[in-house]
Amino acid sequence: MKQLARELQVNLGERSYPIRIGRDLGNDISGFITALTKEGRQGAVLIDDHFLNSQPEFSQQIISGIPHLIIPSGEGSKSVEQLTRGWNFLTASKIDRSGFLIAVGGGVVGDLAGFVAASYLRGVSFYQVPTTLLSMVDSSVGGKTGINLEAGKNLIGSFHQPDCVWADLDLLNSLPAREFSAGMAEVVKYGMLADRGLFEQLLDSSVALCPSSPALPELIHRCCSIKAKIVQADEREMSGLQGGRALLNLGHTFGHAIEKVAGYGTYLHGEAVAIGLVCAFRLSQFLGKCTKHSESDILNLLTSYNLPCLLKEPVKLADLNLAMYADKKVKRGVLRFVVMEEIGDAYCIEGVQSDLVDRVWTSVGAIA
């Protein structure tokens, strides 16, 4: 039965949009598509391959009567090849400037479709139907779109806000448990960066959350609210050391380096972020901050979602440091970290002594 549990608005002037959170939202979405089509607007869908096979009923509801392109599952689809496929598909589907594109999938399809929509005819309307926890709490909101190059992740892209996001929690029922856990790493990140109450709520709950948990809609709402607030204040990540959008990278400076050095695919993004969150907490403590919570709180919370707190295989400290400096977030050769005054209160810092960073890396299993 349809339950629209929560709705919030991302306020960005003429680029504002709602995020609708609930269960059984298929009719809502297909009704919306029909209404747009009746206005004479031609639409198209980019849909994740695995998702289509895992949730055929929902998928059919969305794609019936509208051209759709199936995107192979996995990070490899954030590619020039799939981008070109997307453009050609929109041309073949006769999408004009009044047309629209709907992304149905996780962060991969969302990022790809968002960039297809941003670049096709200098930009057409774009809607997100996120199907992973990570994409519901993070990637579908905020307008970052893009693809990867061999030289690195997300090197090509643009800001292109969606016109609406529907987070239908029933779609998570078919999501592999490991992917759900990876999304929980981002949820924990939100608590650590801006919402101590959220962090403590997660810590206090005796059972780990799952797709059917009644608490999940509220939790997703809370994460999206934090992201919306940050994006509203700094849509294009221009805030520099004041933080702004860069705060969303808590745990990611370390996490991206882990993903790169271990080889993409060894860790899910959320798994690398989990280790990165441990690193960010330890760095904060080495800087004399974060005294109100013990490290075991974070370790226990991450472990309760089967998330790693240590590197699976030791990797070289020097390689991790090299990867950190190669990150596209590094400005003028200066490495910036997101650390916490206390849990729930993050800030950006530059000029951290390298021996502190080395101590952090060693503590999660890096070797000389």
Ligand X SMILES: NC(=O)c1ccc[n+]([C@@H]2O[C@H](COP(=O)([O-])OP(=O)(O)OC[C@H]3O[C@@H](n4cnc5c(N)ncnc54)[C@H](O)[C@@H]3O)[C@@H](O)[C@H]2O)c1
Active-site residue set: 122, 144, 186, 227, 237, 245, 249, 252, 256, 269
Measured from the CB of residue 77, what is the shortest distance to ligand X in angstroms?
8
Query: Which of 36, 171, 216, 366 is in the footprint of ligand X by CB under 6 A?
Result: 171
Identify which of residues 138 and 235 has a Cβ nearer to ligand X in the complex: 138
Measured from the CB of residue 201, what is the shortest distance to ligand X in angstroms?
23
Query: Which of 23, 44, 51, 272 is in the footprint of ligand X by CB under 6 A?
Result: 51
Identify which of residues 177 and 241 has a Cβ nearer to ligand X in the complex: 177
Query: Which of 30, 125, 128, 139 is in the footprint of ligand X by CB under 6 A?
Result: 139
- Considering only the stretches 38-46, 79-87, 106-114, 330-338, report the one whose residues sit in contact with ligand X under the rule CB under 6 A: 106-114
**What is d(CA 53, CA 50) in angstroms, rounded to the nearest whole number?**
5
- Interface with ligand X, residue 59, by CB under 6 A: no
- Interface with ligand X, residue 26, by CB under 6 A: no
Measured from the CB of residue 106, what is the shortest distance to ligand X in angstroms?
2
Measured from the CB of residue 140, what is the shortest distance to ligand X in angstroms?
8
Identify which of residues 36 and 133 has a Cβ nearer to ligand X in the complex: 133
Residues that bind ligand X (CB under 6 A): 48, 50-51, 54, 73-75, 78, 105-109, 111, 131-132, 134-135, 138-139, 142, 144, 153-154, 171-172, 174-175, 179, 182, 269
